[in-house]
């Protein structure tokens, strides 16, 4: 670390929750260096830390003569091993089994170096992905229900390509019983309420929790405005739900009053409410994480040492998937970032002065189109009953485990174990 930016990465954050064991020793040692200050990279600590843990599990499976998936399943814990907290939702075994079937894991040879096509040695590897669930306090939104029945959501969140506007609109439409085209989202402006950061894969959960709180407040106000002439007269907030552009009794759906009718009788053009999500108490009561089973098929040229990842599959358990299209994009993008971690990305320093020697993209290599194989993603889509909307983050989990899956596939192809990244051809010759 640099004394200009004291940030020790959480390399061990997954190690205490993934596998059952009788004892643990977990620590991070930090050294201060006179170098450029480090800062966050997506899935900080966990992407790199998972390489060490999941490579070690693969080595253990090799020494035991056991299939690496079977070893992981046999050591699946009932509760979080280091704290005893119950898991809020964990379907990692299902993710492994579904992924193994889809990927064709049964075709893998347990003996390294036995599959070959001409000059190319072929191997398969697997690793576990894991990233913590986060919902930071303070997330707030403002919702405005118009007399025409449309809804506007204002939130100081920002978009980085993960589909913030779409997911926010989908959550609001579901909560208020509206069609998606009746919801407008205004965001990316610090004058709006909320200040919800896109970090820690927590933005969707934070925005969703705030929308849920705002919806409850809106329903409460609408019941007051509805009056005694409403079919809803005498009902409480616990008795009604939102559907078809209005409120209805949960027990008697025919007792219905539309938003437009309620606001018209009250002579209101709109109803605006600002609310923050409830405290994130779920994080203290439960072990909450996103998981994945990462499958890699890699080829190594026996003459040149060139590496080509030919197939990759991520089988994920991230709670309920709110938007399949944007989630798949996020998961594929994370895997591609993980391939860069595994094979191409390396910051080179001048040992005399600590300066970066490859400070631009012509010398610091990230994966480009020709480097990226066929990337497949699937998920369990099992909601977490303790998370807002049942959803966990998908933005960062897909980077974790990729480095180890690639290294384990290369070991299966060549019999050579590489323990430092990136895995360049000189380390395989």
Among 232, 253, 279, give the residue marking a domain's end: 279
Mean pLDDT of 122-129: 98
Examine residue 357 and state whether it is found in any structural domain, yes or no. yes
Per cent of the chain over pLDDT 70 is 96
Residue 331 makes CB contacts below 8 A (sequence gap 6+) with: 314, 316, 377, 379, 394, 397, 398
pLDDT, average across residues 334-363: 93
Residue among 46, 62, 165, 396 flagged as catalytic: 396
Residue with tokens 């004058």: 191
pLDDT: which is higher, 102 or 203: 102
Decide if 34 is inside a domain: no
Predicted confidence (pLDDT) per residue in 194-228, tens digit: 777 666 666 777 788 889 999 999 999 999 999 88
Is residue 363 part of the annotated active site? The answer reads no
pLDDT tens for each residue of 160-180: 777 788 888 999 999 999 999
Domain-terminating residue out of 252, 279, 306: 279
Cα separation, 178 vs 151, in Å, equals 8
Length of the chain: 429
Residue 237 is given by DSSP the state: G
149 and 119 both lie in a single domain: no
In a domain, 23, yes or no: no
Shared domain for 87 and 163, answered yes or no, is no
pLDDT value at residue 90? 97
pLDDT in tens, 356-391: 999 999 999 999 999 999 999 999 999 999 988 888
The answer to whether residue 138 scores a pLDDT higher than 70 is: no
In the predicted model, what is the mean pLDDT of residues 140-151?
A: 93
pLDDT of residue 200: 62
Which one has a higher pLDDT value, 137 or 238? Answer: 238
Q: What confidence category does residue 268 fall into, taking pLDDT thresholds of 50, 70 and 90?
A: very high
Q: Is the same domain home to 144 and 243? A: yes
Question: What is the span of the domain harbouring residue 115?
Answer: 46-133+283-427
CATH number at residue 249: 3.30.365.10
pLDDT at 201: 64
Whether a cis peptide bond, with omega within 30° of 0, leads into 422 is: yes
Q: What is the pLDDT of residue 29?
A: 84
């Amino acid at each position: 670390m640099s004394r200009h930016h004291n940030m020790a990465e959480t390399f061990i954050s997954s190690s205490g929750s993934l596998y059952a064991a009788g004892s643990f020793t977990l620590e991070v040692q930090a050294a201060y260096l006179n170098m450029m200050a480090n800062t966050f990279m997506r899935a900080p600590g966990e992407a790199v830390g998972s390489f060490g843990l999941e490579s070690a599990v693969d080595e253990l499976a090799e020494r035991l003569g056991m299939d690496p998936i079977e070893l992981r399943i046999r050591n699946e814990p009932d509760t979080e091993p280091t704290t005893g907290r119950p898991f809020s939702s964990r379907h990692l075994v299902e993710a492994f089994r579904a992924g193994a079937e889809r990927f064709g894991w049964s075709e893998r040879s347990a003996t390294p170096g036995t599959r070959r096509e001409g000059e190319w040695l072929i191997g398969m590897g697997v690793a576990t992905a894991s990233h913590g669930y986060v919902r930071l306090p303070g997330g707030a939104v403002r919702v405005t229900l118009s007399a025409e029945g449309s809804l506007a959501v204002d939130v100081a969140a920002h978009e980085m390509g993960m589909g913030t506007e779409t997911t926010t609109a989908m959550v609001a439409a579901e909560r208020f019983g509206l069609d998606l085209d009746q919801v407008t989202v205004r965001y990316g402006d610090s004058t709006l309420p909320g200040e919800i950061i896109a970090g820690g894969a927590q933005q969707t959960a934070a925005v969703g929790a705030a929308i849920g709180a705002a919806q409850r407040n809106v329903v409460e106000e609408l019941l007051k405005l509805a009056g005694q002439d409403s079919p809803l007269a005498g009902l409480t907030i616990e008795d009604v739900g939102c559907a078809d552009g209005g409120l209805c009794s949960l027990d008697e759906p025919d007792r219905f009053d539309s938003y437009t009718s309620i606001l018209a009788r009250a002579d209101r053009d709109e109803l605006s409410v600002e609310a923050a999500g409830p405290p994130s108490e779920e994080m203290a009561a439960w072990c909450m994480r996103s998981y994945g089973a990462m499958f890699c098929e890699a080829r190594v040229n026996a003459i040149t040492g060139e590496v080509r990842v030919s197939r990759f599959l991520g089988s994920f358990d991230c709670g309920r998937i709110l938007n399949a299209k944007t989630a798949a994009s996020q998961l594929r993008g994370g895997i591609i970032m993980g391939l860069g971690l595994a094979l191409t990305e390396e910051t080179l320093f001048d040992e005399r002065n600590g300066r970066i020697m490859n400070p631009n993209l012509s010398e610091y290599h990230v994966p480009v189109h020709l480097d990226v194989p066929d990337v497949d993603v699937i998920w369990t889509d099992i909601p977490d009953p303790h998370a807002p909307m049942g959803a966990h983050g998908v933005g960062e989990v897909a980077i974790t485990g990729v480095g180890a899956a690639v290294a384990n596939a290369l070991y299966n192809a060549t019999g050579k174990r590489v323990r430092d990244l990136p895995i360049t051809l000189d380390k395989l010759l």
